[in-house]
Structure 1
Amino acid sequence: MTALLPGCGGGGDNNGEGAPSPGAPAPTIPSPDAAYLQLRRTSYGVTQTEMTAARTDPDGYLETQLHPEQLNDGIVEDAIAQRFPNALRSPEQLRGGFPANQQQVVADLISATLLRRFYSPRQLFEAVVEMWGDHFNVHIRNGIGPILHPAYDFETLRPHALASFRSLLGATARSPAMLFYLDNFLNLRTAPNENYARELMELHTLGVDGGFNETDVKEVARCFTGWTLDFRSGAFRFVPSLHDDGEKRVLGQTIAAGGGQGDGETVLDLLAAHPATARHIARRICQRFLADAPVASDIDTVAAAFSGSGGDIRTTLRAAFGRPAFRAAPDTKTTRPVEYLGQLARTLRPGSALPNDNAIRLFYGVLDILGQVPFFWAPPDGYPDEGEHWRSTSGLLNRWRIALGLSSLDDAGALDLEGAIGTATTIAEAVDQTAARLVVRPLADTDRQRMLDYLAGEVGSDADAAQAPTTLRALAPLIIALLASAPYLHLR
């Protein structure tokens, strides 16, 4: 089978190993329609049900997604509460079992995250939460990080993901997980620590070219002295005796002496309203939802929406979704591993039941192989959102290996490979019905024919000849592996 894979989606660039780069647009791949592209960029997998909704009322579908409270997510949340309770526990509740419980806490949070991403109807919300999780990255395996991270998810990121940027920025600044990860709990009047101050400006707000200098970093660090955490309760606290209460000057603005905790809040206000922050956040959103290298006009429009709305995240997202590139520039993004696996999980879902714990562990294992386990990116910049990172030779080969090994996910009840062929009675029908369910976009005629020719050779008969149902069911994993290895699932 592997001999066929490089030919699927012909026309893609080679990466030096004789195989096409999965993210390289190929001229023979038919463009998907606007509804598909909208869903591919705002969800973890396009299904036919969602395609119908998006085609009927594309703007209405997005507006509903922008208000996730209108979408019933009770089945997923109930499952998380029952099966992965550590994902919903506070640092104080988890502290007593640490460090013996850290493996289980990490596993529960990752399992809960994958259940939400793959099976929640709140698909856009989950994508936005992931985007902010990368933007305000906190590595989970970091000292006491495992017991702090669940609250970072359910108290910091989720409640503020679609609110205002200022509220999100403030929540991350006061988060014990962030305070610990970037060492601000060690930021003392007598021994300032600049780690958080630097990342706050360079990554979280202004951007590396946002106009700040080393003096600003030092002054911002002084503003956040005394912002620490209570290790007994795992909660934020401000300790006045540890704070430098002298006058500071940040980005040309004087912060008067005696401000206490308000010094840090003043800095957050200043940074959130800065024009450089508007452009930095606009570029982050455009890169996530439009293209790896968004054009200046798109960034300008989204930045203007950010500034004009006081950093309202919903308004800013609407501006991005209103750009022509959102629905009319296909295949400008490479799917990251979680999106690739999500398309498989969502389209090949066996029935309406949620997968069992063994299946979730296999999802975890797949993402480990592909290099995107949630919360496991160690540097503070978060998992890359550029295709170049994910189009490496090893990354491509690992995706092919996963495609070839999908039977293990089928055996675990995570996927229904045989069910994908539907009511097909010929190999041609099996390919078409499987593609309609899994790929949900048109196949190139050349790709379809090469698959048919290859499959016909596997069974020793013409591709259009009637096949026994048992033969077609046996071919289902091979058909899916071919489709999963071709560029279609690697582009959005």
Structure 2
Amino acid sequence: MFTATRLQKILSISVICGLSACAGLNSTRPEHSRPILPPPSNTLAKAGVAPEAFLNRITWGSNFSTKQQVQAVGLDRYLDQQLRGQVSVVPPAIQNQINALTISQNSFESLVRQMEAKRIASEQQKGTDDTLRKEYQQEMNRLAKEAASRSLLRQIYASNQLHEQMTWFWMNHFNMHNSKHNLRVMIGDFEEHAVRPNALGNFRDLLRATVFHPAMLRYLDNEYNAVNRINENYARELMELHTMGVNGGYSQRDVQELARVLTGVGVNLNNDAPKIKHEISHLYIRRGLFEFNPQRHDFGDKQLLGSTITGKGVKEVDEVLDLLVRQPATAHFISQKLANFFVSDQPSEVLVSAMTQSFLNSDGDIAFTLRTLFDSPEFIASLGKKFKDPLHYVVSYVRLAYDGSTIVNTSPLLNWLNTMGQPFNGRQTPDGYQMTASAWASPGQMSTRFEIARLLANGSPNLFKPEKAEGNAIAMAPVSIPSANLANSAYLKNWVKNTSPRTQEALAKSGSPTEWNLFFLSSPEMMHR
């Protein structure tokens, strides 16, 4: 109950903590300093790992250009560079495409408000004329497509391929289905400013960035979470899917208490701030579209995971994030998912336990935890055996077939992914796409994949034919269409020597370059990474 005594206690805490308008988001808690990664080992070199097998696992697909980078420094040093690299660049022509996107040219806040104004106008017109509603939906779809296209271009061309893999991994971990509310205009900023900067950093910093992003607060309904009107949706997923896992040892009471911590943490799309009682107005926080409204917050003390969280406003969130990230269950859950993504559908408990300990010892450092994974014999033994999801299949094909060429149209890629059931941000449930063979190797899925392979075998000229400019999009100049004749690739011919005898026999019997392409794209080696 919000009594005078309770208010006095809160005010005294705020003085001690030095709360200000920005304190809730620009926390006084220092950012994690990066644990010093051990120097590159000779693990991969000693094991005699084939460069293609290694690159097909830690990148979006091996190609000649990437193999040249490995040959210049060696596998172990290349891995070390990928783990340490925080900046990932793309060729200038690709960067120019990214810079031309509406989501690159407009601020997140202004773009969301523009679209909100269009939505309101279309609602007011509803029942008389459907034009504005159709225009609104088309523009929202276009913005969502821009976000997906930007991701694809980086996955294909970026220098730090491990960083791109981890960016997608975390986008899938913190999955949001973009058909809800106005998430289509928010999803690109969520990736750009919440996930990408932290993809190989510290898990606590990554988690915090997602917690305070308007897209996540909208998707999991926390904007409706208020004192005496508790909405547990985000609190439950924050524990079950984002940190401790479904069997993490927390109780329903813990979920309820976490939901109380998150009351008042929400979104405000308006220009104006709400009217706040004078005695708590200094606790109000606004940054962009994020808002912490103290009038909607439950200031009572909470009992969460055996700890008492003293009511003090948005500062409670930071305290709880520390608590969640340092739970052994969180370290195990995250390690399990990383091992599932990079090693196998059923990684050993020995590996997961070793990674869990690295996660705890480094206070949640992602690269430090991954180093334990990549140095393990289990990782080396698994190379070439992990079944590709559709995204890995499509991107690895493009990286291999069009190495050095500049794609100007991502629509075919997006269409292939839609056909194979893995559109960007298209998973309807918040658990994200599954990374197991059983999710993607069904007879129906394989039949669809073989049809895509037949399409790819004939080349993909539409990748190099600019789309007609829409809205603010900038039309690209026509370019020559490169050949996708994999059969004549010296790099691929050498790689094929290490494929199975059955694959080599099938390729030798091909009657044309197109047939050779089809056989290779349908081979077990192309289906696995």
| TM-score over 0.5 (shorter chain) | yes
Please report how far the alpha carbon of residue 411 of structure 1 lies from its aligned counterpart in structure 2 after TM superposition.
2.6
Aligned residue type for 2:423: V
Do the aligned partners of 1:245 and 1:259 also contact (CA within 8 Å) in 2? yes
What pairs up with 1:156-167 in 2 under 5 angstroms? 156-167=194-205
- Stretch deviating more after TM superposition (332-341 or 238-247): 332-341
Do the aligned partners of 1:73 and 1:120 also contact (CA within 8 Å) in 2? yes
Do the aligned partners of 1:65 and 1:122 also contact (CA within 8 Å) in 2? yes
Do the aligned partners of 1:403 and 1:484 also contact (CA within 8 Å) in 2? yes
Q: 2:389 aligns with which of 329, 336, 340?
A: 336
What pairs up with 1:15-414 in 2 under 5 angstroms? 33-54=49-70, 56-69=73-86, 72-73=89-90, 75=92, 78-86=95-103, 89-95=106-112, 96-97=114-115, 98-99=118-119, 100=136, 101-232=139-270, 235-256=289-310, 258-349=311-402, 352-357=404-409, 360-406=410-456, 409-413=459-463
Please report how far the alpha carbon of residue 413 of structure 1 lies from its aligned counterpart in structure 2 after TM superposition.
4.6
Please report how far the alpha carbon of residue 70 of structure 1 lies from its aligned counterpart in structure 2 after TM superposition.
5.5
Aligned residue type for 1:159: P
Aligned residue type for 1:477: T
Aligned residue type for 2:291: R
Please report how far the alpha carbon of residue 77 of structure 1 lies from its aligned counterpart in structure 2 after TM superposition.
5.8
Distance in 1 separating the partners of 2:347 and 2:291: 40
CA 1:262–1:346: 2 relative to 1, 3 Å: same
Please report how far the alpha carbon of residue 447 of structure 1 lies from its aligned counterpart in structure 2 after TM superposition.
2.9
Distance in 1 separating the partners of 2:88 and 2:104: 21
CA 1:318–1:49: 2 relative to 1, 3 Å: same
Q: After superposition, give the CA deviation of every residue in 1:6-40 in whole Å (9 maximum; x if it has no partner).
A: xxxxxxxxxxxxxxxxxxxxxxxxx9944323211
Q: Which runs of 4+ in 1 moved over 6 A?
A: none
CA 1:408–1:364: 2 relative to 1, 3 Å: farther
Q: After superposition, give the CA deviation of every residue in 1:172-225 in whole Å (9 maximum; x if it has no partner).
A: 111100000000011010200000000011011111111001111111000100
- Stretch deviating more after TM superposition (88-97 or 195-204): 88-97
Distance in 2 separating the partners of 1:51 and 1:81: 26
Do the aligned partners of 1:184 and 1:228 also contact (CA within 8 Å) in 2? yes
SS in structure 2 of the partner of residue 335 of structure 1: coil
Q: 2:518 aligns with which of 464, 474, 481?
A: 481
Distance in 2 separating the partners of 1:448 and 1:389: 28
Q: After superposition, give the CA deviation of every residue in 1:458-477 in whole Å (9 maximum; x if it has no partner).
A: xxxxxxxxxxxxxxxxx222
Q: After superposition, give the CA deviation of every residue in 1:256-289 in whole Å (9 maximum; x if it has no partner).
A: 2x31112222211100011110101111111111
SS in structure 2 of the partner of residue 282 of structure 1: helix
For 1:436, the equivalent position in structure 2 comes to 493
Do the aligned partners of 1:301 and 1:319 also contact (CA within 8 Å) in 2? yes
CA 1:82–1:265: 2 relative to 1, 3 Å: closer
CA 1:32–1:376: 2 relative to 1, 3 Å: farther
CA 1:69–1:346: 2 relative to 1, 3 Å: same
Aligned residue type for 2:201: A
- Between 1 and 2, higher relative CO (CA 8 Å, sep ≥ 6) is seen in 1
Do the aligned partners of 2:167 and 2:196 also contact (CA within 8 Å) in 1? yes
Identity %: 30
Aligned residue type for 2:398: A
Do the aligned partners of 2:414 and 2:423 also contact (CA within 8 Å) in 1? yes
Do the aligned partners of 2:258 and 2:304 also contact (CA within 8 Å) in 1? yes
- Listed as ranges, the gaps of 5+ residues in structure 2 are 1-46, 120-135, 272-287, 465-480
Distance in 2 separating the partners of 1:216 and 1:320: 31
Please report how far the alpha carbon of residue 407 of structure 1 lies from its aligned counterpart in structure 2 after TM superposition.
5.6
- Stretch deviating more after TM superposition (88-97 or 378-387): 88-97
Do the aligned partners of 1:87 and 1:112 also contact (CA within 8 Å) in 2? no
Do the aligned partners of 1:89 and 1:150 also contact (CA within 8 Å) in 2? no
- Listed as ranges, the gaps of 5+ residues in structure 1 are 1-30, 424-432, 456-474
SS in structure 2 of the partner of residue 406 of structure 1: helix
- Stretch deviating more after TM superposition (317-326 or 219-228): 317-326
SS in structure 1 of the partner of residue 460 of structure 2: helix
Q: After superposition, give the CA deviation of every residue in 1:136-173 in whole Å (9 maximum; x if it has no partner).
A: 11112211111211210111001111111111111111
Please report how far the alpha carbon of residue 327 of structure 1 lies from its aligned counterpart in structure 2 after TM superposition.
2.0
Q: After superposition, give the CA deviation of every residue in 1:117-149 in whole Å (9 maximum; x if it has no partner).
A: 111122110100011111111112211111211
Please report how far the alpha carbon of residue 87 of structure 1 lies from its aligned counterpart in structure 2 after TM superposition.
5.1
The aligned length equals 429
For 1:470, the equivalent position in structure 2 comes to none
Distance in 2 separating the partners of 1:481 and 1:183: 46
Aligned residue type for 1:150: G
SS in structure 2 of the partner of residue 477 of structure 1: helix
Aligned residue type for 2:499: L
Distance in 2 separating the partners of 1:170 and 1:69: 18
- Normalization by structure 2: what TM-score? 0.77
Do the aligned partners of 2:420 and 2:445 also contact (CA within 8 Å) in 1? yes
- Normalization by structure 1: what TM-score? 0.82
CA 1:88–1:58: 2 relative to 1, 3 Å: farther
Aligned residue type for 1:201: M
CA 1:440–1:171: 2 relative to 1, 3 Å: farther
Q: After superposition, give the CA deviation of every residue in 1:350-398 in whole Å (9 maximum; x if it has no partner).
A: x6342112xx100110011111122111111111111110011111001
Please report how far the alpha carbon of residue 72 of structure 1 lies from its aligned counterpart in structure 2 after TM superposition.
3.8
Please report how far the alpha carbon of residue 418 of structure 1 lies from its aligned counterpart in structure 2 after TM superposition.
5.1
Please report how far the alpha carbon of residue 416 of structure 1 lies from its aligned counterpart in structure 2 after TM superposition.
4.6
CA 1:418–1:204: 2 relative to 1, 3 Å: closer
Do the aligned partners of 2:103 and 2:146 also contact (CA within 8 Å) in 1? yes
Q: After superposition, give the CA deviation of every residue in 1:54-88 in whole Å (9 maximum; x if it has no partner).
A: 35511210121123346543526623434423256
Distance in 2 separating the partners of 1:171 and 1:75: 29
